[in-house]
Structure 1
Amino acid sequence: MKYKQINNSLFIKNRENLKHLLTPQSVAIFHSNDEFPRSGDQNFLFKQNPDLFYLTGIDQEQSILLLFPDCPNPLYKEVLFLRQTNDYIKVWEGHKYTKEQAQQTSGITNIYWLEDFDNILHSIIHYADHIFLNTNENDRYAHTVPYRDIRLITELKNKYPLHKYERVAPLMRQLRAIKSDVEVSLTQKACDITKDAFNRVLRFMKPGVMEYEIEAEIIHEFIKQAATGHGYNPIIASGNNANILHYTDNNQQCNDGDLILLDFGAEYANYNADMTRTIPVNGKFTPRQRDVYNSVLHVLNESKKLMVAGAIWNTYHEQVGEIMTEQLIKLKLISPTDVKNQNPSYPAYKKYFMHGTSHHLGIDVHDFAGRYTPFAEGNILTCEPGIYIPEEGFAVRLENDILITKDGNYDLMDNIPIIAEEIEEIMNA
């Protein structure tokens, strides 16, 4: 990994928090993600399972965490299993954790090689009543591939059919939504790297450049600052491309007079930033572009005020919809009559602002959290209103990352240029 080692107190505390939520006499098992083939002899870059990383800090394939707080053998209350290196792996793949390095990274004392997992598990599992297993329960995920966690369920139920099997994902959803100070600092680092990449783009942008050239400027800054890379596929959408919500072709020329929507964020130490800005290709907003831009910025600023502990998801989004409705009427995109006659299940504003305003952010860009759980202190959420006008050939979306605290909320991207005049000043300096 490129990032600096994280103090293992984070992972020790995370494990302790989980142990307090486990049913007595329970074993919990977490696997690293699978390695996925990219071609005949290559894999895609490995991305660690977020729950395993959250609990151990281990950023390596073929790793397993076993937690059994009530285990009668103290050696196996907390065990980490790793892939053992050899001369072949050293030559072809390079560094793998030693036991000592894994202890230092995770704070786990008992480290074994992967080949010992089955024997150790079998020696203790009959002293447990419950087996907590992990699966991907992010409600944005649709299960189609039998990944490692799914395969383990089948395997263990065949071997140990009379145990009580439990889902650990609801416990992780409860824990991961509340960010510790260390997690906030790592997210802030990702945001700061994203800021520098955006400032680089502002100085680089001019008519005639290609969208992929902008993408190259961004990744240059990310890697230069030890980010892993993009937290998600970047959207570099000029002109009418911005009206495609998940546009990632990034292969068109940026034309004089157009706006370009930039949605990107750095990943640092597995924590992510998620930012959107919309800027004029030639460094100057037209009057109409500026009006729409300022309306979106107004919705962003007003929405941020609603992001407080205790706020309810649906109520929050309804309130944002009311703010957006006012701005769309002001821009003459919808009329009061449209609002009066609107379908309550699909309000008039949805024609120009069709997606949600916020999602949780963390180890996953769309982080694991309860969609129906009120906002809480320690949540980090995006705030990303937009107005999409295909008939006028442009769209504006703005997005910052917001931390909710006991004293209100704190904008982790408050130092990234967003005022129209400030953007024009930087671009024309």
Structure 2
Amino acid sequence: MSIEAECRPRAIRLDEYRSRRRRLMDDVPADAAVLLPGASLVTRSRDSEFPFRQDSDFHYLTGFPEPDALLLLLPGRAEGECVLFCQDRDPAMETWTGQRLGAEGAVRVHGVDQAFENAERDARLVELLAGYATLYLPLGNSSALRLAERLRAELVDRPRQNAPTPLGFADVAPLLHEQRLIKSEGELALLRHAGEISAHAHRRAMRVSRPGLAEYQLQAELEHEFRWRGGSGPAYASIVAGGRNAGVLHYIDNRDPLRDGELVLIDAGAEFDLYAGDITRTFPVNGCFTSAQRALYEVVLTAQERAIDAVRPGATLAAIHRGVVSDLAAGLTALGVLAEDGEEAPEAIVARRFYPHATSHWLGLDVHDVGSYRRDGEPRTLRPGMVLTIEPGLYLPDNDDLPAAFRGIGIRIEDDVAVTPEGCEVLTRAVPKQVADIEALMDEK
């Protein structure tokens, strides 16, 4: 593990956080300020909380790891344009939950211009925001809106002479999320590492799989590997779906036994430094595909490989998805699942019955990452630095109108892909997906 530790990418540097904040301030009007709250602790039961995870937008701009923080960006302010409010230093609480950075530590460690502890927040916020005409904040965040409404009321009651007050609110999310959509080299390194950790976990699950294990036991193997290799845990609820459970797209019960002769679909990824990995593999519980499983699997694999080959600057996710649907339809027709001369187009049947989800989503600090999929009403074109998934699937129900050999089979194959100037880089290629490679890896056990 010492070699693994040495290979871990560095965290995002302070100058990159400063650059991100500068870009956001450059995108808002000169008389506008930005207010962004961090995440708070969430109660799990009574007086215990879920493990803390910082809000992704807040982390993107600050890297600050503590709960109940608040960021203000104040363009043109002479005393400093970036102001952070954070938890008070409290020796009694720190005995229980660990040392807090406090205002001095926030400036020293995280490179903000000025910081105050939360005990001073209410007294300082109105003064700091006086003179700004518009306040950009996440309008979908109810606590941020409540705070902004209170501040606006206080500014109206106590206006400065000849100074506008922030009576207007605007949504910061579209500006910030467009910025987050293009990943820096530092972010790509973190996503690459999250993908590597995730790949190790999927290989481990393949090696230990056998009939009689429970789905949750494979989940335990995956998530042990996430933590063992330095991840903070799963980036989302792990899906371990044996047999017909694979037809439930977001199946997370993970409690049924794994049966001989069936496939198991695993959709799971590690989080590393808040960046997500996201891999899906489908493989036989006993290590050997049946002829029907292999035939259906090859249809999905062909579609996935062709879709990855189509990822390049200028392509669109909509066109890639159409290609996947076409490939799946052709494959199912060749297998006799779809009729060649039916009244309904094969592609329409695939989208309606067997493949109800999109081929791709953005990936980054969130597993379903931010950024619009359309610009000016049209599918946006891919650019270098975008990171996305490619995840075609087929989910055949246990219906009498389907060939018996294919009934109740669910297959999905997913990789994480970064757009490069020349085409793309597959960040999760370390997990086998060719039938022979999967069977060879599983035979190692």
Q: TM-score, normalised by structure 1?
A: 0.92
Determine the C-alpha separation between the residues in 2 that align with 1:334 and 1:160. Answer: 66
Q: Does 1:412 align with 2:427?
A: yes
> Aligned letter for 2:178?
Q
Determine the C-alpha separation between the residues in 2 that align with 1:358 and 1:332. Answer: 27
Shift of 1:5: 4.7
CA shift in 2, pair 1:428/1:35, >3 Å: same
Determine the C-alpha separation between the residues in 1 that align with 2:143 and 2:231. Answer: 27
**Structure 2 match to 1:140:** none
**Structure 2 match to 1:382:** 389
**Structure 2 match to 1:357:** 359
More off after superposition, 370-379 vs 100-109: 100-109
CA shift in 2, pair 1:197/1:104, >3 Å: farther
- Of 260, 264, 286, the residue aligned with 1:260 is 264
CA shift in 2, pair 1:343/1:326, >3 Å: closer
Shift of 1:288: 0.7
> Aligned letter for 2:367?
V
Determine the C-alpha separation between the residues in 2 that align with 1:6 and 1:104. Answer: 16
Determine the C-alpha separation between the residues in 1 that align with 2:261 and 2:82. Answer: 60
- Of 146, 150, 155, the residue aligned with 1:155 is 150
CA shift in 2, pair 1:124/1:99, >3 Å: closer
CA shift in 2, pair 1:260/1:157, >3 Å: same
**Structure 1 match to 2:131:** 127
User: Unpaired segments of 5 or more residues in structure 2?
Assistant: 1-7, 157-164, 375-379, 399-406
Determine the C-alpha separation between the residues in 1 that align with 2:311 and 2:209. Answer: 33
Per-residue displacement from partner, 1:200-225 (whole Å, max 9, x unpaired)? 11221111111111111111111112
1:262-301 maps to which residues of 2 (within 5 A)? 262-301=266-305
CA shift in 2, pair 1:287/1:266, >3 Å: same
Determine the C-alpha separation between the residues in 1 that align with 2:106 and 2:9. Answer: 16
**Structure 2 match to 1:366:** 368
**Structure 1 match to 2:25:** 19
1:3-42 maps to which residues of 2 (within 5 A)? 5-42=11-48
1:89-128 maps to which residues of 2 (within 5 A)? 89-128=93-132
Shift of 1:245: 0.6
- In the alignment, is the contact (CA less than 8 A) between 2:232 and 2:273 conserved in 1? yes
SS in 2 for 1:27: strand
Determine the C-alpha separation between the residues in 2 that align with 1:302 and 1:15. Answer: 38
**Structure 2 match to 1:191:** 195
SS in 2 for 1:221: helix
Q: Does 1:427 align with 2:430?
A: no
Larger Rg: 2
Determine the C-alpha separation between the residues in 2 that align with 1:186 and 1:414. Answer: 16
Determine the C-alpha separation between the residues in 2 that align with 1:367 and 1:106. Answer: 24
> Aligned letter for 1:382?
T
Identity of aligned residues (%): 31
SS in 1 for 2:29: coil
Shift of 1:305: 2.1
**Structure 1 match to 2:176:** 172
Shift of 1:415: 2.1
Determine the C-alpha separation between the residues in 2 that align with 1:361 and 1:309. Answer: 17
- Of 385, 388, 412, the residue aligned with 1:397 is 412
Shift of 1:336: 2.5
Q: Does 1:324 align with 2:324?
A: no
**Structure 1 match to 2:89:** 85
Shift of 1:65: 0.9
> Aligned letter for 2:370?
F
> Aligned letter for 1:117?
R
Determine the C-alpha separation between the residues in 2 that align with 1:237 and 1:51. Answer: 32
- Of 204, 212, 215, the residue aligned with 1:211 is 215
CA shift in 2, pair 1:158/1:335, >3 Å: farther
- In the alignment, is the contact (CA less than 8 A) between 1:84 and 1:113 conserved in 2? yes
Shift of 1:195: 1.0
CA shift in 2, pair 1:70/1:404, >3 Å: same
Per-residue displacement from partner, 1:40-90 (whole Å, max 9, x unpaired)? 11122222111100000012101111101222xx22411111101212211
Determine the C-alpha separation between the residues in 1 that align with 2:43 and 2:110. Answer: 28
**Structure 2 match to 1:236:** 240
Shift of 1:34: 3.0
**Structure 2 match to 1:48:** 54
CA shift in 2, pair 1:135/1:362, >3 Å: farther
CA shift in 2, pair 1:5/1:89, >3 Å: farther
> Aligned letter for 2:336?
K
> Aligned letter for 1:198?
H
Per-residue displacement from partner, 1:321-366 (whole Å, max 9, x unpaired)? 222211221222212233x52498x554431111100000001110
CA shift in 2, pair 1:75/1:347, >3 Å: farther
Determine the C-alpha separation between the residues in 2 that align with 1:63 and 1:275. Answer: 33
Determine the C-alpha separation between the residues in 1 that align with 2:317 and 2:10. Answer: 35
Q: Does 1:341 align with 2:331?
A: no
> Aligned letter for 1:413?
T
Q: Does 1:63 align with 2:63?
A: no
Q: Does 1:248 align with 2:252?
A: yes
Determine the C-alpha separation between the residues in 2 that align with 1:328 and 1:105. Answer: 57
> Aligned letter for 2:390?
C
Aligned residues: 415
SS in 1 for 2:341: helix
RMSD (Å) for aligned C-alpha atoms: 2.0
SS in 1 for 2:145: helix
Determine the C-alpha separation between the residues in 1 that align with 2:314 and 2:150. Answer: 42
SS in 2 for 1:124: helix
Determine the C-alpha separation between the residues in 2 that align with 1:226 and 1:85. Answer: 29
CA shift in 2, pair 1:319/1:107, >3 Å: same
> Aligned letter for 1:173?
H
